[in-house]
Amino acid sequence: MILNEILIAGFGGQGIMLMGKLLAYGAIYKGLEVTFYPSYGPEMRGGTANCTVVISDQRIGSPVRNEFAYLMAMNQASVDKFSERIKPGGVIVCNATLVESPPERRDVKIVKIPANQIAMEMENPQVANMVAMGGLIHELKIISYESLTKGLVRVLPQYRHNLIPLNEQAIQKGFEALEKKLNLEGYDEQSKGTNCDQPGTV
Amino acid sequence: MILNEILIAGFGGQGIMLMGKLLAYGAIYKGLEVTFYPSYGPEMRGGTANCTVVISDQRIGSPVRNEFAYLMAMNQASVDKFSERIKPGGVIVCNATLVESPPERRDVKIVKIPANQIAMEMENPQVANMVAMGGLIHELKIISYESLTKGLVRVLPQYRHNLIPLNEQAIQKGFEALEKKLNLEGYDEQSKGTNCDQPGTV
Amino acid sequence: MKRVYGKPDAMTDVPFPYCPGCSHGTIHRLIAEVIDELEIADRAIGITSAGCSVRNWRQFDCDMVMALHGRGPAVATGLKRAQPETVIFTYQGDGDMAAIGTGEIVHAASRCERITVIYVNNGVFGATGGQQAPTTLIGQFSTSYPTGRDPRTSGYPLKMAEMLARVSPESYIARVSIHNVKNIIKAKKAIRQAFLVQIEDRGFGLAEVLAACPTNWRLEPVRCMQKIKSDVIPYYPLGEFSSQSLKAQ
Amino acid sequence: MKRVYGKPDAMTDVPFPYCPGCSHGTIHRLIAEVIDELEIADRAIGITSAGCSVRNWRQFDCDMVMALHGRGPAVATGLKRAQPETVIFTYQGDGDMAAIGTGEIVHAASRCERITVIYVNNGVFGATGGQQAPTTLIGQFSTSYPTGRDPRTSGYPLKMAEMLARVSPESYIARVSIHNVKNIIKAKKAIRQAFLVQIEDRGFGLAEVLAACPTNWRLEPVRCMQKIKSDVIPYYPLGEFSSQSLKAQ
Amino acid sequence: MVVEQSTYLAVSEKNLMSGNEAIGEGAIRAGCQFFFGYPITPQNELFEFMAQMLPQTGGTFLQSESELSGINMVYGAAAGGGRCMTSSSGPGFTLMGEGLTTLATAQMPAVVVCVTRAGPGLGRIASAQSDYRLATRGGGHGDYQCLVLGPASAQELYDLTYEAFELADRYRNPVIILSDAILGQMMEPVVTDHLPRMKTPPKEWAVRGKGTNPRKVIKVAPHTDEELIDWNRQLKKKYQLMQDNEQRYEALLTRDAELIVVAFGSTARIVLDSVLRARNEGMAVGMFRPISLFPYPQKALEEIVRQGTRKLLVVEANNGQMVQDVRLAVCGAAEIAHYGFGGGHIFSPYEIYREIRRLGKS
Amino acid sequence: MVVEQSTYLAVSEKNLMSGNEAIGEGAIRAGCQFFFGYPITPQNELFEFMAQMLPQTGGTFLQSESELSGINMVYGAAAGGGRCMTSSSGPGFTLMGEGLTTLATAQMPAVVVCVTRAGPGLGRIASAQSDYRLATRGGGHGDYQCLVLGPASAQELYDLTYEAFELADRYRNPVIILSDAILGQMMEPVVTDHLPRMKTPPKEWAVRGKGTNPRKVIKVAPHTDEELIDWNRQLKKKYQLMQDNEQRYEALLTRDAELIVVAFGSTARIVLDSVLRARNEGMAVGMFRPISLFPYPQKALEEIVRQGTRKLLVVEANNGQMVQDVRLAVCGAAEIAHYGFGGGHIFSPYEIYREIRRLGKS
Amino acid sequence: MSKAKGQIAINPARCKGCGLCIWVCPQKSIKTVDEADRRGIRIACCAENAPCTGCGFCYMVCPDTAIAVYKESTTEEPAD
Amino acid sequence: MSKAKGQIAINPARCKGCGLCIWVCPQKSIKTVDEADRRGIRIACCAENAPCTGCGFCYMVCPDTAIAVYKESTTEEPAD
Ligand SMILES: Cc1ncc(C[n+]2csc(CCOP(=O)(O)OP(=O)(O)O)c2C)c(N)n1
Ligand SMILES: Cc1ncc(C[n+]2csc(CCOP(=O)(O)OP(=O)(O)O)c2C)c(N)n1
Ligand code: SF4
Ligand code: SF4
Ligand code: SF4
Ligand code: SF4
Ligand code: SF4
Ligand code: SF4
Ligand SMILES: [Mg+2]
Ligand SMILES: [Mg+2]
């Protein structure tokens, strides 16, 4: 069976919720079950934001999780705050542009993708989150590029639909960045694994 | 044991509630248990009024009763409405001045006292209720003139305390009217009895 | 001989349950006459409220809805939004509208809700036995303040018409009285206007009617009428407080 | 060098939890300054209300009581009656005071209750995410009326100061703004008066402060200040609406 | 009805008092100094008693603009350290839900009286017991609980109201007196002097302005999620303490009873007559009268039933609201029947007696 | 959050929806044309969804000045025959007690949503289930009852909200959807097209002006005492009918279970994980999820327990409000334990698993 | 107007004897009956030999709509 | 007044970078720092070589009471 708990974290304004929803649609288009759970920091406005996406081929219990198989960390604060919550054998994808000190765990796979940098190279800094998404699905494996991008029309407001090709391109760029094994370091072969199978997962 | 359920009924303005409270104080000064329960007719103001007084030497259950040992009927409407509620062996005291057709039951003692007339003769029409009280305790027997009049200071507002002697006099007049067996008619010896002992009483 | 005055059609045959001389009856009749004259009995819906008039659904020969204490304007709002073709009126006492129902009436007025409010200011909580209403005059006896209203303890009598007019730009709001024939006729006109402003979709309508509660005022009906003139009107001036939209027409 | 301006003593060290540029902070400071100047920190009790300022018991260095949404004036009334020597102020938003709490404020005002109300009119329900307040301007966007306030649907913006002044004979009621230095100084004076009228037992005090909610107005703080001047004040004129008892002195 | 003067407070003998007045007397005896309320039948005699008496005893009476406002005034006065009270009936009691959860959360002592009338909705002023559920379980949101006492005579109304103020202060919790229209209107002799005249006890948590001390804050919400969870844990403990210590009841002729009639308040008065009549006729019938409605006297009822009772007949002037509590207490140990009607039906002793007989036979 | 456009209503595939939106979708699908409400977190997404959608579908959205007023507007619109709804959370839900008893008395259909947050008092916006008791038993005075549904997924929120409108009309009774902050915020795929788009059914009892027919009166109090008693008898019958016909639940792995975990709403989601984990480890554990909270699915639970369950573990995000219902259902047939906290504690699957293990061993 | 001939009919089931009609009648053509009815009320009735003009004042003030006013061949509106 | 010499101190824990002080300062003696802090906020600070008069305007408008104003040997009250 498939069960992936994914935490996407960053600060308000990075498009964290959009990433989560897009991933959820990717799961839907793959015919999988999915839940999305948003969480905002205690700050009144702005501040930190994260969301939990659970993907499974079976009925999903709790949409709220304490431990995750995947962390998509869009900034340093997210790494600091959440990397301990990743189960052994899990994956941490770091937005290398904003994460200076990646987590020091050796029992998880650590993947770096310079999302903001790639977006900047595309001359569209605001698509950094989409670049990261490309990286994330590369690691996730169960969500294809096609099913992910199919969701763009659902998560973007109408007036932004013209930007869909740009977003698709960003996702692709992110995916390819990892496909080409660029920027891959500090990865411990022994703990490799996309689906972790820890006690407590079914 | 003693158990008396007394219904005092008439129309608003006849001082029905005052009668009931006075009787209740009479019971208190006799060292008895007592409850008083007022009831007003469905009319907004004025209209009919009645109250239930239960006197016992033991703890009293319901202050609300459907059947009574005594009825003090201050007007015709009260006779018409309530005389069927008096248990066999009970007593109906009628204010003869305002009750033209007394009840036709032969299993209860029917006592007539021309309360308003006596009050008029005293040149104080407003003490008719006290005259009736005199008649009522005459029949009740368990409440003495002394214990009854002792309550006047409790039920009359301060500014009427100067009228206490007049009220006492009226009560005495009412008591004497029956003591002298004046106005006694239609009384069936066989059903005589002050405390009735029907099923349902304890 | 021809009948020139008599029970209006919009009134049922059920006699009023009020005390002798109680103004509720007069006001009921005026409402029924206006309903007759405007020929709206078929689409009028009255909202009753807690108070002595709580069961006045028995008096009006039109659809009626009972509201809980003070909520008439909210119920009327919901109903009017659901049935915009109807003509809705609430009938509310000063306890109902000026005490517990303050929020509801202020906001219905400020929304300029297309409803008609007949507001009976008799200066007292009649139904519960004569307690002080927000409208009770200074010094006036009540069962909650047996020594009379003292503004220091319980504040000043509320002038609802003036207050509501302040927040209801599209409205007809007037204060009238029923203490004599002339004023009864004026009162009817105001009630008519309060309906018309709704019917013609021009705004919110409210007629505050100064009324007597002989029982709790502890006065004969005739003395009550005199008291309205001598004591009540000086504090609660009669007149129109808002008729902007009418003038605009 | 000497410190000429700085955090007043009646304010704790806890930084404000508000968004950048939010007027709540300015108003808090003015209250604290007034408490300092009147030297009443030892006997002042603040009543907090639901809204963005719900936890402002953390900001004032005096006794505080939290009230539920809209009930501040009732809580203040009970407390003032129990502790007449204290100086009670409620701090209420326009959702709190002008929507759910309408009944409580109208009656506290008409009782001329010896309390001080600081009423923050920012034209929006800030805490719940920018829904329409009773004070939202016509045409103004909100999350409950995304196409802007249409008086036909949801009525006219409520002018609380004017309305309350109408029913509160012994009172000081004023509307002020904090959109520039001059007005901030005036606002402080009004807040001071609203306290004084209570302290000197002359009546009910209320300062309505026009305020900005940059987050829900979706405007930069500086633009907000300009908007208060250009859009808000024209609808909500500044000034004193009731100071009868003050003049009488 | 206006109480014309304060004879009661002076005399040391038995006084005839209506249940509503008895509550007022008990309150003033206990040192109640603040009453905030709104008129509603059938509690008006209490309201008016306080209107008359409080100003005479240096207290404060204020007619609020609504029950919602009244109970929040109570909260304010309680925060200020006063012994305070409000009262109402069904529709008004419903509007106090917000205030009750507020008082319970802030741990403010107060006494709230409900003189129950027939519901639901606007209902009628006839007596009923259909606010049992509202008092014992309902009203406001969240995990909170009021102490609820259900007296059955004027004397008990006096005594328990007095005690309610003590309990409220002891637990820093609102206490509800659940009375009804019969009890409220009925008059009975009441002795008052056995209870000492109380003054408001000192309350170190009350707000009076900080003076030279550290400031105090009375809260209805804490600053963090964790605090709120902890807060609830504390409250739960307190409610458990109440359950352990405050169960009150009266048991009559239960020792050998095969059938026990369970009833509270005015209904228990009527049931008493029915039970005695059945006893007189040789039936093994007893009566159990819960006096505390929260906490429900579970332990006692359970133990009594264990002694061999086969059946319980719950009689209430409602559609069966207390049955759940009885069921929870005896949990299958005895058969449970209900007799009662919502809407203001007044039982006769005979009809309950009939029901007892019917059940006794089956 | 503002829903920017109505994609949902058009598409026939799975849509990602938050629980709050799913309620709104279900309502509009069911023909809900009137929404009256007042903002409160964490139900604002529903409020704002209706603000956006109703005007687009020809319906009416009105922000009321309070919850008290909002539910009375609902009453008015219901009297006029409209399908209508309001929604809130704890503090606002408390203020609807008066409206609920009104709606129930007048037998007016309406759907009322409570997206529960942590209480009591002002509380906090963290998710909790502490309004269970208020929804199932409390709120208003008198003998009345609302139907209460407790969905556990976005799909179920959609489906049951839709059905709630049907039930409300069928029984002429208010129906409460008891959701919580977790369900409200969480997004899940929802299919919508399996339910036909409804219009308000004709209601012959609605008031629209009498026209040429006899007039109609919608009452919250009848004219005589007898009528009110009879009225209550009718209501009681109706509530019995609900109890007979509307018990809903889900039972999972209960057949051979020695321990059954009972949970509703979002907690049941978390419990599912814990139960599956325990099962995986060989424990004989099952889950029972009441879907209707009134009527409580007593019959099913009782029967399931009869099959040999030794223990029940009631898990709720409150101080144990549902325990009474479980106890009433199984009445001594199994041991009952409670695990849960008031105030907004969010369970982890592991902590419940741990609790299961602890109980399984003892 | 004072010459017009009018007549009133008082509904004994509605009249509560409040006396407002008596007070208001400009012609003093209403009085109370001598005997109280079953409700204990002395209702209003026409005074003998007092000329009713059909002005309608009594109808206007009657809180119980107990009065109907008839007039000889006229359709005049009430005084305004 | 413009000759008086003032100085301000901005509390970095309280400043939220709203910009109101910058807008209001008649001497243009406040600006934002170049780098955002941990909260992502660019707070206010003194502009170089800009003469602060100690007028207190910035203190007045600061919603976060982040500013203290100092003045050389003067106890003048704020402009009124
Ligand atoms: C919530 C609630 N509180 C109190 C009552 C009791 N009550 C019924 S009518 C009324 C006030 C009556 O006064 P008013 O509205 O002025 O009407 P009037 O009887 O004077 O015509 C009150 C307090 C109620 N029905 N509901
Ligand atoms: C009974 C109740 N209903 C709703 C809420 C939710 N609520 C909290 S604050 C608020 C309004 C906030 O607006 P306002 O009073 O203007 O304060 P602001 O945030 O704008 O300063 C609302 C509706 C609540 N706490 N209690
Ligand atoms: S109590 Fe007053 S308002 Fe009520 S019916 Fe009697 S006179 Fe009219
Ligand atoms: S939301 Fe608005 S009112 Fe609330 S803190 Fe932010 S700016 Fe201030
Ligand atoms: S109609 Fe006029 S004249 Fe005739 S009885 Fe009536 S008031 Fe008198
Ligand atoms: S005014 Fe009407 S009710 Fe009063 S006495 Fe005349 S006829 Fe009778
Ligand atoms: S006004 Fe205050 S908070 Fe805003 S930028 Fe200046 S110092 Fe910072
Ligand atoms: S005190 Fe005046 S001059 Fe100095 S920085 Fe502030 S605003 Fe500018
Ligand atoms: Mg009135
Ligand atoms: Mg606001």
pLDDT at G2 exceeding the cut of 80: no
Region E198-221: mean pLDDT is 96
- Cβ of D73 below 6 Å from ligand 2: no
CATH number of the domain encompassing residue C70: 3.40.50.970
Same fold, E14-245 and E249-361: yes
How far is D136 from chain A, CA to nearest CA, in Å? 21
- Alpha helix positions (H), chain E: 19-29, 44-56, 67-79, 90-94, 97-106, 132-136, 154-171, 181-185, 225-245, 265-280, 298-306, 323-330, 349-361
Around ligand 3, the residues with Cβ closer than 6 Å are: B 44-45; C 18-19, 22, 24, 52, 122, 126-127, 213-216
> Among A100-104, A170-174, F70-74, H9-13, which is the least confidently predicted range?
A100-104
Q: Read off the pLDDT of residues F108-130 as tens digits, 9 standing for 90 and up.
A: 999 999 999 999 999 999 999 99
A with F: touching (≥3 Cβ pairs within 8 Å)? yes
Average pLDDT taken over every residue of chain F: 95
Bridge partners, B49 (sequence order): B10, B40
Interface touch F121/E220, C-beta < 8 Å: yes
- pLDDT value for G76: 53
Q: Where are the extended beta strands (E) located within chain A? A: 3-11, 33-40, 48-56, 68-73, 86-95, 109-113
- pLDDT value for E13: 76
Tell me the chain D residues in contact with residue A45 when contact means C-beta distances shorter than 8 Å: 19, 215
Residue spans per domain, chain E: 14-245, 249-361
Whether the upstream peptide bond of residue F120 has omega within 30° of 0, thus cis, is yes
G7 Cα nearest atom in ligand 5: 4
* In contact, C81 and F33? CB cutoff 8 Å: no
Share of chain C above pLDDT 70, in %: 98
- C5, part of any domain: no
* In contact, E217 and D63? CB cutoff 8 Å: yes
Around ligand 6, the residues with Cβ closer than 6 Å are: G 10, 15-21, 43-44, 61-62, 64, 66-67
Whether the upstream peptide bond of residue E120 has omega within 30° of 0, thus cis, is yes
Q: At what angle do helices E19-29 and E154-171 cross, to 10 degrees?
A: 40
The more confidently predicted of residues A196 and E333 is: E333
H with E: touching (≥3 Cβ pairs within 8 Å)? no
- pLDDT value for H49: 81
pLDDT at F53 exceeding the cut of 80: yes
- pLDDT value for H38: 75
Cα A136 to Cα E131: distance, rounded to the nearest angstrom: 58
When CB atoms are compared, the residue of H20, H56, H67 closest to D221 is H20
- pLDDT value for A192: 36
How far is A94 from chain F, CA to nearest CA, in Å? 25
Cα A9 to Cα B177: distance, rounded to the nearest angstrom: 99
Interface touch C156/D162, C-beta < 8 Å: no
- Cβ of H25 below 6 Å from ligand 7: no
Nearest CA to ligand 3 atom 7: C213
How far is C195 from chain B, CA to nearest CA, in Å? 30
Q: Going edge to edge, which strands form the sheet with H67-71?
A: D2-5, H67-71, H6-10
Q: Read off the pLDDT of residues H3-52 as tens digits, 9 standing for 90 and up.
A: 568 999 999 999 999 999 999 999 999 999 998 887 778 999 999 888 99
Q: ipTM of this predicted complex?
A: 0.94
3-state SS, one letter per residue, for D121-132: ECCEECCCCCEE
pLDDT at B202 exceeding the cut of 80: no
- Alpha helix positions (H), B63-124: 76-82, 115-121
- pLDDT value for F272: 97
Category of C9 on φ-ψ map: left (φ > 0), alpha (ψ -120 to 50) or beta: alpha
The more confidently predicted of residues D241 and B44 is: D241
- pLDDT value for A79: 95
Nearest CA to ligand 5 atom 3: G52
- C11, part of any domain: no
- List per-residue pLDDT tens for chain D, 249 residues long: 899 999 999 999 999 999 999 999 999 999 999 999 999 999 999 999 999 999 999 999 999 999 999 999 999 999 999 999 999 999 999 999 999 999 999 999 999 999 999 999 999 999 999 999 999 999 999 999 999 999 999 999 999 999 999 999 999 999 999 999 999 999 999 999 999 999 999 999 999 999 999 999 999 999 999 999 999 999 999 999 997 644 444
- Cβ of G6 below 6 Å from ligand 5: yes
pLDDT at G77 exceeding the cut of 70: no
pLDDT at B194 exceeding the cut of 60: no
When CB atoms are compared, the residue of E102, E207, E220 closest to D63 is E207
- pLDDT value for A40: 80
Whether the upstream peptide bond of residue A114 has omega within 30° of 0, thus cis, is no
Share of chain E above pLDDT 90, in %: 94
Q: Read off the pLDDT of residues A141-156 as tens digits, 9 standing for 90 and up.
A: 999 999 999 999 999 9
pLDDT at B17 exceeding the cut of 90: yes
- pLDDT value for F116: 98
Domain total in chain C: 1
Interface touch D102/C100, C-beta < 8 Å: no
pLDDT at B185 exceeding the cut of 60: no
Share of chain F above pLDDT 90, in %: 94
C94 Cα nearest atom in ligand 1: 16
Burial profile E282-291: b = 16 or more Cβ within 10 angstroms, e = fewer? ebbbbbbbbb
Residues 6+ apart with CB under 8 A from F303: none
According to CATH, what is the number of the domain E249-361? 3.40.50.920
Given pLDDT bands bounded at 50, 70 and 90, which one contains residue H77? low
Whole-Å CA distances, H22 to B128, C215, D227, H58 = 91, 69, 18, 7
Q: What length does chain C have?
A: 249
Q: Going edge to edge, which strands form the sheet with E249-252?
A: E249-252, E285-290, E259-262, E311-315, E335-339
Put simply, whether D15 touches H (Cβ < 8 Å) is: yes
Query: D–H: how many Cβ contacts below 8 A?
Result: 99
E with D: touching (≥3 Cβ pairs within 8 Å)? yes
Interface touch C64/F217, C-beta < 8 Å: yes
Q: Read off the pLDDT of residues F201-256 as tens digits, 9 standing for 90 and up.
A: 999 999 999 999 999 999 999 999 999 999 999 999 999 999 999 999 999 999 99
Given pLDDT bands bounded at 50, 70 and 90, which one contains residue A115? very high
pLDDT at E88 exceeding the cut of 60: yes
Give residue for tokens 């002050």: B194
- pLDDT value for B198: 31
- Cα D54 to ligand 7 centroid, rounded to whole Å: 22
pLDDT at F6 exceeding the cut of 60: no
Share of chain A above pLDDT 90, in %: 80
- pLDDT value for B41: 67
Interface touch E76/D78, C-beta < 8 Å: yes
Residue range of the domain that includes C52: 24-247
Put simply, whether D210 touches H (Cβ < 8 Å) is: no
Cα A154 to Cα A25: distance, rounded to the nearest angstrom: 8
pLDDT at C159 exceeding the cut of 70: yes
Q: Read off the pLDDT of residues F283-339 as tens digits, 9 standing for 90 and up.
A: 999 999 999 999 999 999 999 999 999 999 999 999 999 999 999 999 889 999 999
Q: Read off the pLDDT of residues A30-60 as tens digits, 9 standing for 90 and up.
A: 999 999 999 986 554 557 899 999 999 999 9
Amino acid (1-letter code) at residue B181: K
- Cα B26 to ligand 7 centroid, rounded to whole Å: 81
| SS3 call for F262 | strand
- pLDDT value for B190: 35
- pLDDT value for E8: 38
Q: What length does chain E have?
A: 362
Q: Read off the pLDDT of residues B69-125 as tens digits, 9 standing for 90 and up.
A: 999 999 999 999 999 999 999 999 999 999 999 998 999 999 999 999 999 999 999
Model pTM score: 0.95
- pLDDT value for C39: 98
Q: Read off the pLDDT of residues C196-221 as tens digits, 9 standing for 90 and up.
A: 999 999 999 999 999 999 999 999 99
H67 Cα nearest atom in ligand 7: 7
Region F38-58: mean pLDDT is 97
Q: Read off the pLDDT of residues F77-88 as tens digits, 9 standing for 90 and up.
A: 999 999 999 999
Given pLDDT bands bounded at 50, 70 and 90, which one contains residue G50? confident
According to CATH, what is the number of the domain A3-192? 3.40.920.10
Whether the upstream peptide bond of residue F201 has omega within 30° of 0, thus cis, is no
- C13, part of any domain: no
CATH class belonging to E14-245: alpha beta
Interface touch G24/C18, C-beta < 8 Å: no
